Amino acid sequence: QQQVKQSPQSLIVQKGGIPIINCAYENTAFDYFPWYQQFPGKGPALLIAIRPDVSEKKEGRFTISFNKSAKQFSLHIMDSQPGDSATYFCAASIESGGSNYKLTFGKGTLLTVNP
Amino acid sequence: KAGVTQTPRYLIKTRGQQVTLSCSPISGHRSVSWYQQTPGQGLQFLFEYFSETQRNKGNFPGRFSGRQFSNSRSEMNVSTLELGDSALYLCASSTPGVTEAFFGQGTRLTVV
């Protein structure tokens, strides 16, 4: 049972475009929703994260939109650049006391930004 | 501050063998999690250790095990390797009270 569904699988945009990656979750206990960026040969790096008490969060060119009632969240990349070409993963977890937690990942979106 | 260090970076093993992977967390981080990444299944949680105790475990067979040492370094072991164990194994560390998890570059395991 896939608890976090991510779409699309791949995405090609032109430089300056605004790619949008969508995720949907099932477990209403999830309360932390990070996005990770992964380049070939590297581990995932945290890009931006949101908690369900806000509907939108911006960090630089990256924006997360969150719809709690629909159990959906999405990543928008403004003014995309060729250097943004990477695989993007959404994830969800139940934030708990203590430090690390179990992340449930989407299957990933391979983004290509053409110059 | 050094990041999460995983060794070795690449490993080739034969079916039936066992393998041990190592993870050194960021200094001060006491929690270490392990994930398996494959093209078909994506990133899947293996287990999490905090203060030398396994706190969470994913849905993997008992051939997958791990441990954490008093200095927070962690190892994971896979026994009786199968072809399907070929994957990128990622380690992530974090510190108490901070949700963000930092990943290492991973160990690429190939089982032949």
Q: What is the residue whose two structure tokens read 């959404």?
A: A90
Determine, for residues A99 and B95 on separate chains, whether the beta-carbon distance falls below 8 Å.
yes
Residue A96: pLDDT above 70?
Answer: no
CA separation for the pair B24, B48 (Å, rounded):
14
Look up residue A84 and give its two tokens. 């943004």
Which pLDDT tens digit goes with each residue over A29-54?
A: 888 899 999 999 899 999 999 988 99
| Residue A25: predicted pLDDT | 96
Mean residue pLDDT of chain A comes to 92
| Residue A95: predicted pLDDT | 73
H helices of chain B, where? Answer: none
Which pLDDT tens digit goes with each residue over A52-67?
A: 899 999 999 999 999 9
| Residue A99: predicted pLDDT | 42
CA separation for the pair A51, A56 (Å, rounded):
9
Residue A97: pLDDT above 80?
Answer: no
Determine, for residues A44 and B90 on separate chains, whether the beta-carbon distance falls below 8 Å.
yes
**CB contact at 8 A, B28 and B97:** no
The segments of chain B whose pLDDT lies below 50 read none
Measured between CA atoms, the residue of chain A closest to residue B10 is: A41
| Residue B56: predicted pLDDT | 85
CA separation for the pair A25, B108 (Å, rounded):
29
Determine, for residues B45 and A98 on separate chains, whether the beta-carbon distance falls below 8 Å.
no
At A1, the pLDDT band (50, 70, 90 cuts) reads low
Query: A32: which DSSP letter?
Result: B
Q: Within a 10 A sphere around the Cβ of B11, how many other Cβ atoms?
A: 15
At CB < 8 Å, which residues of chain A contact B? 32, 34, 36, 41-46, 49, 89, 91, 93, 95, 98-108
Look up residue A105 and give its two tokens. 């990942």
All residues at 6 or more sequence positions from B24 whose CB lies less than 8 Å from its CB, including other chains: B4, B5, B6, B7, B73
